[in-house]
A and B are shown apart, each in its own frame.
Chain A
């Protein structure tokens, strides 16, 4: 067969999302964290501290707020928002900093691509690992929410799968963005995107405080979608819009995964 290849190697329609070989990359990351479990454990505390400082601190000042038609205490209002942002952060950490280190500094993937694993397996494996890590944090946070009485309806059981979906979306986007980064300084741009999103995406107060046009902007952000999904499920305020939020996140994650596979093939298999 005469090959005049212009498309990246090893990306065929069927394998575009990777194969079960991706599990091996997850296994690798488990080996890594076995020896640095403190870093892993530290991730549990961040959302918890936020909940204590912002939620509990402001609770007395703010009073009650609406989720759907329900009136809830401020802490109960903020908790699902923090759950969504912790799912985001948990997934992003591995998908950005660690991925960059492996891709550009340690050249970890160069060696991996001399084994049966392909760039799509690497992308899927890293995504899977980010998900596992992020979901673990989310799971613990949901338990804490339940213990403090911030879980408002039986539908909250769906908060965990929703957190996994949020992790999927942000891990996909994070991996894809990282594959375009050249230096550590480029990560300032990530912070520039994350911090305002975290502060303004209706995590801490309802969208209604904004003028109409700004509401549209905020609605477009993935974190808003994530927060709205968690808040709706937690309060049992089911509506069709929840399906929309979920679809938004799923598409985002998938697109990120596909872009990441293609970028890795270009970068690592010149």
Chain B
């Protein structure tokens, strides 16, 4: 059986180049004096998957909560599903699914009841919810635990249940705040697969993650946030092309790192990043750069030439993990 049977019988037709699903301009979130989101602009189209990347405290969750109509906008404008969150919160939320960063399962209910009751908040008929709940429990592999109390689940299982819960209402827009944190690799891949299929049905995804491979896999477009602002926005491939070189040489010098090694490597490549445990040299021809390192008489403990990834973009744009 196609697991999506319990959900919308037909695929949602993507609006023919219609209005974007989420539009923000000059969006600001303040907590007292503190500015968590500092005037960002973005728009997310129907059926698109959009990601927010950024170091801890960058303002990703704050932005997502505003989109989910769970946090009032401090300034700027925001429209979600063509409506104003300030006025039409309940209507918007009835079409949204949310996986919050921290699990907020109902501890007084069993695993199955968590899904049944949550579906009722959306005013769905019990029969429909029950059908979906069964399929979703199967999807997150918690069918055997259906009658258990939530407290008895492991951390990853709770996460899986939170994910299942977000899908009970068959949302048009799915907001996932670090959904795979705590998931084992198998559960992670199951979720990726599910998200991929949801997208094909026209569901719009908004995701944050600290796993760059995940962002590359899941997101068509990304915003890299830092200190409440967008440092860059674009497709993963374009971001890599724009903010990194084709290849990266990774050098590890181990405990016997000679003093001044970092200085010696200066100018060898287009860019150099010195991390606590390694030095990265950005170059379009990694092998050539590595050859020059050896010619300098340096003998790293290990070397690696690889293609640039989002990780490099992240490093470059946020510089958070750099040794200054």
Contact = CB atoms under 8 A, between A and B. Distances in A.
B106 A28 contact: yes
B183 to A, nearest CB: 19
A108 B77 CA distance: 30
B72 A2 contact: no
B41 interface: no
Interface string A194-218: 0000000000000000000000000
A116 B165 CA distance: 14
B299 to A, nearest CB: 54
Interface residues of B, number: 42
A270 B89 contact: no
A49 interface: no
A111 B78 contact: no
Report which residue of B86, B91, B102, B110 has the largest number of chain A beta carbons within 10 angstroms of its beta carbon: B86
Given A28-B120, A115-B93, A3 B73 contact: yes
B84 A10 contact: no
A119 B122 CA distance: 15
Contact of B89 (A4, A10, A31): A10
B77 A3 contact: yes
A269 B122 CA distance: 19
A109 to B, nearest CB: 9
B310 interface: no
Nearest to B108: A32
B38 to A, nearest CB: 15
Interface string A108-134: 101111111110000000000000000
Interface string B76-114: 111000001111011101101010101011111110010
B70 A113 contact: yes
B100 A114 contact: yes
A3 B106 contact: no
Contacts of A102: 108
A102 B108 CA distance: 9
Nearest to B150: A106
B89 A9 contact: yes
Interface string B176-200: 0000000000000000000000000
Interface string A1-20: 11111001110100000010
B93 A31 contact: no
B137 interface: no
A122 B77 CA distance: 27
Given A9-B89, A110-B104, A116-B123, A269 B117 contact: no
Contact of B121 (A1, A110, A116): A116
Contacts of A21: 90, 121, 123
Contact of B108 (A5, A9, A108, A115): A108
B84 A5 contact: no
B104 A116 contact: no
B56 interface: no
Contacts of A117: 90, 121
Interface string A21-50: 100100110011001000000000000000
7 contacts: A2-B75, A10-B90, A21-B121, A108-B104, A111-B104, A114-B98, A116-B121
